[in-house]
Amino acid sequence: MIRKGDNIDTRMLSAIQLAYIGDAVYELLVRTYIITNEELTINKMHKSVVNFVKAENQAKYLRKIEDSLHEEEKNIVRRGRNSKSTTPKNTTFMDYKYATGLEALIGYLYLKKDKERIFQLFEMILSTEKE
């Protein structure tokens, strides 16, 4: 159990573990954004969230923000992209790898308790969505 003040050595976690927690954090960010910025029915909210979290779009978002990442963040993304994973069902292999990289980055930042950077990156993602 993680308690306030606990530090997690993210170097000891695999990229898949980082992506696992990052997936949950990213979806929570998206859901929070959707319910606070759009007046939609539950069905439309769900469809909007699914659109944000699908691998194809996560890969697109990562490609848009890649140049803004710090070197350490790029290394985490690279670890996520290069991690061994199952073959995706509803997307291309490369999009799946990039999505895993984005999720690993979000998980890494979350476990480092760097909420400010998560929010900065999420704002960049939102701006690419509006283009």
Q: Which of 6, 23, 67, 114 is catalytic?
A: 23
Structure tokens at 56: 């194809």
In tens, the pLDDT along 66-110 reads 999 999 999 999 999 998 877 678 889 899 999 999 999 999 999
Task: Please say if 95 is a catalytic residue.
Answer: no
* Single-letter amino acid, residue 48: S
Please determine, for residue 5, whether its predicted confidence score (pLDDT) is greater than 60. Answer: no
Q: What is the pLDDT of residue 1?
A: 44
Q: What is the pLDDT of residue 2?
A: 52
In tens, the pLDDT along 34-53 reads 999 888 899 999 999 999 99
CA gap 48, 130 in Å, rounded: 13
More confident residue, 49 or 2: 49
Residue recorded with tokens 């994973």: 85
Domains of the chain: 29-129 (1.10.1520.10)
